[in-house]
Amino acid sequence: MRKYLLALLTLSLALLSFLITPTIARVIIPPSSPIPINSVGSTTTLNFQGYVFGFENNNQPQPLTYAQINIPIPSSLPSYFNTSLIGGNVDKYAIWVALSPYPASNYSGNYFVQAAIVLIANTSGQYLNLAVCFVQSGLGATFYNKTFPLSKFAGTMIQISLCYSNGLTAQFYDPNNGFSQSVIDSQYVFVPYSALIIGEIPLNVQLTKTYYVFFYPVPNETFSNIQFNVIGTPSTSAEVFTYSYNLSSTILTAITKTTNQYYGFHWLSNGNSYSANAYTSSSGAQITGTVQLAYSETPLFPTNYYA
């Protein structure tokens, strides 16, 4: 199943509103009644790692109204380059939150609106990209896409939130430097039933001809203490679905300049975990906690694939 951060379509400016406003406020509901968090399944993928959260009320999926993550930004990024290969001198890794109209399941990863940070290391420097996208079965539309030097946010914490109220509003906020950017999506409107918190290597669309070709990840990273908060309607239980990296598959990443032979890598480990509590009250339900996204991978090696 194709799942990746993809920016293929440009929307009319009439569909977009860019606002500089304070962060979208959401009051944490009183933890009046704890509810269980039940696992509803898991799967492995080439480029997804993380969790999908949702709510049920007596086995009926319940709508969500809000999802937020706070991401600590590294002060610098490790890097691994092979400049003799096309595509071998860029490392990328994305962390994002999304809302989907599907209950927490594998289907959630096929249809969603996401707000993401993308960490980028290349031979010219280190950068952080902010993006808001709609994705359906691997095809996407981008509402906002802007790249900054990593130094603008290095060592800070970026808050990313998605709010549903007759449309979706995404917001990036850094309380340390006052940065705030809101994006209103009035085109892709749906009632959310799950929230995704995902780490991902983006697809390298520049190289895709015969096979799926991804960027090499920012190597051997651990992104810990990613705080999250998901709010929905009153419920009797919360649900979680887990994505992990497939450790047995070769992921194509770069290509030789002369023989058109693909180079790739394997994931060596998954280090994703979460700690959370869920509550309900007369006004709503909430899941709050922390997520860790961690991994290791091999260096690039020649494969049996050719363009």
Confidence of residue 300 (pLDDT cuts 50, 70, 90): very high
CA distances to 195, 254, 257, 263, 281 from 307, rounded to whole Å, are 37, 11, 11, 11, 56
Q: What is the pLDDT of residue 257?
A: 85
Can you give the pTM of this predicted structure? 0.90
Planar angle of CA 56, 43, 238, nearest 5 degrees: 15
Task: Name which of 293, 298, 229, 251 is nearest 49 in CA terms.
Answer: 293
Mean pLDDT of the chain: 88
CA distances to 11, 17, 184, 190 from 14, rounded to whole Å, are 8, 8, 11, 19
pLDDT tens by residue, 131-169? 999 998 777 788 899 999 999 999 999 999 999 987 889
pLDDT tens by residue, 44-101? 999 999 999 999 999 999 999 999 999 999 999 999 999 999 999 999 999 999 999 9
Give CA 128 to chain center in angstroms.
Answer: 14
d(CA 19, CA 47): 32
236 by Cβ neighbours in 10 Å (0-12 / 13-18 / 19+) ranks as middle
d(CA 280, CA 268): 39
% of the chain residues with pLDDT over 70: 89
Q: What is the pLDDT of residue 264?
A: 96
Does the pLDDT value for residue 218 go beyond 70? yes
Helix, strand, coil percentages, rounded to 5, for the chain: 5, 60, 35
Whether the Cβ atoms of residue 203 and residue 5 lie closer than 8 Å to each other: yes
Confidence of residue 27 (pLDDT cuts 50, 70, 90): low
Confidence of residue 9 (pLDDT cuts 50, 70, 90): very low
Whether the Cβ atoms of residue 231 and residue 26 lie closer than 8 Å to each other: yes
Does the pLDDT value for residue 7 go beyond 50? no
Q: What is the pLDDT of residue 6?
A: 40
Ranges of each domain in the chain: 9-21+28-306
What backbone torsions phi and psi does residue 213 show, to the nearest 5 degrees?
Answer: -125, 125
